Amino acid sequence: MTVFDAVRASSERHVLAEGPVWVADSSQLIWIDVEEGTVFLGRIRGAQIEQTQRFDFDGRVGAAVPGTDGSLLVAAQDRLVVIAADGSRIDGPLIVADGVDSRSNDGAVDPAGRFLVGTLALDGREGQESLYRWERDGSLTTIDSDLTLSNGLVWSPDGTLMYSTDTVPGIIWVRDYDAVSGVCGARRQFVHIEHGYPDGICVDARGHLWVAIWGAGEVRSFDPYGVAGNTVTVPVPHVSSVAFVGDDLDWLLITTASRDLSPVELADYPGAGFLFLANVGVTGTPTTLWDCAALRGPSTQKPLNRK
C-alpha cells in the first residue's frame, strides 16, 4: 500500500467545498460551496486552481453538473435548477417536499446522461432520505427511500455498476445498473467505512474506488472487490469529495471543509476549506454530460409528492 500526500491548490477558503467535476471539452473545473450556496467554475494553472466564474443561490446547494448544451444543472436547496448557457435560470422539479426539513445533497450523471441526486435530513431524522433520478420525460424515479445522508455517486468504467454512499451509517453500496433501460439491481454492501465517514467518491480507469473520508483527513482507495488499497493524506480533518481532473485526468482533486472546526482547530489546520491536488499514479474516467432532454419533459414544474 502506498501513501500519497495532497498539496493545497487554491487561494480561497470555503465553508464546505464539494462536488468537483471536470469538463473535458472546455478544460474547466466545477465545484461548489454547499453552505455558501455557490457554484464555481475554474481552471488548472500549473498545480493551482484558478476561479473564473461563480453563481450564487439563496440557500444551500448540493451539486452542479455540466449539460450537453453548455448549461449547468444545479441541485439547489430543495429543487433542481438549470442555469442556461446565457445565464438565465429554469426551475426543475422539487426534490424536497414542502414542510420537510431536508435539503439536496450530492448528485452525479449516469452513463446515459440522466442526473441522480440525493437528500439529507436537517433535523436529525434517520432512514427517511431518498436518492432520485431525473428522467428524460421530466419525471423523478425514486432509487432509494431509506437513507440517512445520501452522498457520493459514481459508476464503474463500463457503466454496469453504480456505487452510492450513505454517510452516517458509513456504508458504500453497489448495485447492478443498466444505463440504457435505467433498471437498477438490488443494492449490496460494498464497504463499511470505519475511523471516519465516507463522503464523495470517484472511480479510476481500473475500476478502483477513491473515497473522501470526512473526519479522518484521508482519501482511501478500494479495488473492485472492496479490498483497501492506497491512501492519500490531506492535512485537514474534513475531506469532503474527490474527482480526477486535468486534460489527462491524472490529478486527484480533493475538496475540504472549514465548518465544524473551532477557532483553535482552524489555526491548527490552516488548509481547512481549501482545494488540494495529489498525483496518485493512475488516471480517472471522463465525465458524462447531463442530457438536457428532461427540460422538455411534461413534469419539470410539478412538485414532488413525498410521504
State pLDDT tens for residues 87-103. Answer: 999 999 999 998 899 99
Enumerate the β-bridge partners of residue 8: 276
φ, ψ of residue 210 to 5 degrees: the values are -115, 125
Average pLDDT, the chain: 94
Angle, CA of 124, 144 and 191, to the nearest 5°: 80
Digit-coded pLDDT (tens) for 53-77: 999 999 999 999 999 999 999 999 9
| Domains of the chain with bracketed CATH | 3-296 (2.120.10.30)
Q: Which residues of 11-42 are buried (b: 16+ CB within 10 A; e: fewer)?
A: eebbbbbbbbbbbeeeebbbbbbbbbbbbbbb
Cell of 7: 498539496
What pLDDT is stored for residue 293 in this prediction?
78
DSSP, residue by residue, 69-136? TS-EEEEESSEEEEE-TTS-EEEEEESS-TT--EEEEEEEE-TTS-EEEEEEESS---S-EEEEEE-T
Nearest to 275 by CA among 49, 104, 88, 91: 49
The model's pLDDT over 133-160, given as tens digits with 9 standing for 90+, comes to 999 999 999 999 999 999 999 999 999 9
Query: What value does the mean pLDDT take over residues 263-271?
Result: 96
DSSP codes joined into one string, 151-206 = EEEEE-TTS-EEEEEETTTTEEEEEEB-TTT--B---EEEEE--SSEEEEEEEBTT
In the predicted structure, residue 120 carries a pLDDT above the cut 50: yes
Name the percent of the chain lying above pLDDT 70: 96
Model pLDDT for residues 9-45, shown as the tens digit of each residue: 999 999 999 999 999 999 999 999 999 999 999 999 9
B/e letters for 251-286, b = 16+ CB within 10 Å, e = fewer, are bbbbbbbbeebeeeeeeebebbbbbbbbebebebbe
Mean pLDDT within 235-250:
98
Average pLDDT over residues 163-169: 98
CA distance 200 to 255: 9
Tell me if residue 44 falls in helix, strand or coil: strand
pTM of the model: 0.94
One-letter amino acid for residue 255 of the chain = T
Q: Which of 271, 230, 229 is nearest to 254 (CA)?
A: 271
Model confidence pLDDT, tens digit, residues 289-307: 999 877 766 544 443 333 2
